[in-house]
Amino acid sequence: MGSVKDLKIFKNAELFNEGEGEFIFSDRYSVFDWGEMPDHIDNKGASLCMLSAYFFNLISKKGIKTHFSGLVENGVVKSYDETKNPVNVMRVKMVRVLKPVYNKEKNTYDYSEYKEGIKNYLIPLEIIYRNKLPEGSSVFKRLKTGQITYKDLGLDHEPTPDEVLKKPILDVSTKLEHFDRYLSWDEAFKISGLTKKSFEKLKEYILVINDIITEECKKVNIENVDGKFEFAIDKDGDLMLVDVLGTPDECRFLYNDFHISKEFARRWYRKTKWFLEVEEAKKKYGDLWKENVKEKPEKLPEEFKILLAQMYMAVTNAITGKKFFNVPELNDIIKNLKKYDM
């Protein structure tokens, strides 16, 4: 399925019927669109699986449909509350993925298959929420180049780095194109296949889910800076939350202003020759950048890799309130990780 998560399909989604499958969360990770990196992060997959299941469980109790069907422990599908040990396999409902047809000559995508009233399909959008705008956020780049204005974001002033927003900014991009492309909400609505009522409900759901993640994190002094969601329309025509959410890979989490995500691995690699060549190749070769990178990413230092693994596990322990993993407290792990953040 991808560089960090595998998909096993038991039953394909059809026009009027949902399918059934499993997400198998691996210990692989990816940075800078490279794909699988040379190291595996021990128990990262199980950490993300359990944390996402925790949030799916909370969200479903708020009356929002999700594709989460349970966790697979020893071959048995169980609810989150029934699962006693950390697992890396999640049972999910499947929907149709309608790929927009790409016209290479015009460099455009045909979304005509997404018509109002269709059911059982993945909405071709990625929804981003932003509670804060950290330095380096893509928002500042888009403001500087004139792609958007602060009014487009629903703000009454030019934002500044690390500003905590009075209310979240909602952003939207394409999901099924070769490269994600930011859209206006009008553009997003036109390609979504949704009714106006469902489209507005989608925005409402994002705010509700964001609040749930933010409040759960706040209990353990973790700041939920931003994150992303994906949705589908189920066989009954209702909105359904899909994919994975509420993890350090889908969200930007901070603990006392310290990044607790794979952002830490990104920072380490930014100091390497490999990263410099990747950046240069992306500018020079566009879509063909990867095949023109001769350097290979080196392995992480062993202690760094262990601490990174412990960080993922400790985040899951902290937010869920369960000792799924036998690791030190998050605060102690971060103290040791800080020496690599130079």
The rounded percent of the chain whose pLDDT value lies above 90 is 82
Sequence-distant (6+) residues with CB within 8 A of 187 are none
Start-to-end C-alpha separation, the chain: 34
pLDDT of residue 259: 87
258-259 and 251-255 strand pairing:
antiparallel
pLDDT of the chain, 342 residues: tens digit per residue? 566 889 999 999 999 899 999 999 999 999 998 989 999 999 999 999 999 999 999 999 999 999 999 999 999 999 999 999 999 999 999 999 999 999 989 889 999 999 998 999 999 999 999 999 988 788 998 999 999 999 988 898 999 998 889 899 999 999 999 888 999 999 999 999 999 999 999 999 999 999 999 999 999 999 999 999 999 999 999 999 999 999 999 999 999 888 888 888 888 999 999 999 999 999 999 878 999 999 999 999 999 999 999 999 999 999 999 999 999 999 999 999 888 765
User: What structural domains and CATH numbers belong to the chain?
Assistant: 5-340 (3.30.470.20)
pLDDT of residue 87: 98
Q: Round to whole Å and give the CA distance between 89 and 46.
A: 8
Can you list the alpha helix ranges (DSSP code H) found in the chain? 44-61, 138-145, 185-192, 196-218, 263-269, 273-285, 302-320, 330-337
CA 323 → CA 125, 259, 262, 319, distances in Å? 35, 22, 22, 10
- Answering whether pTM is above 0.85, one says yes
- In the numeric block, which tokens belong to residue 338? 């800080």
In this structure, the number of other CB atoms found within 10 A of the CB of residue 95 comes to 24
pLDDT of residue 340: 78
> What confidence tens digit (pLDDT) does each residue in 230-286 have?
999 999 999 999 999 999 999 999 998 888 888 888 889 999 999 999 999 999 998
Residue 243 Ramachandran class (φ > 0 left, ψ -120 to 50 alpha, else beta): left
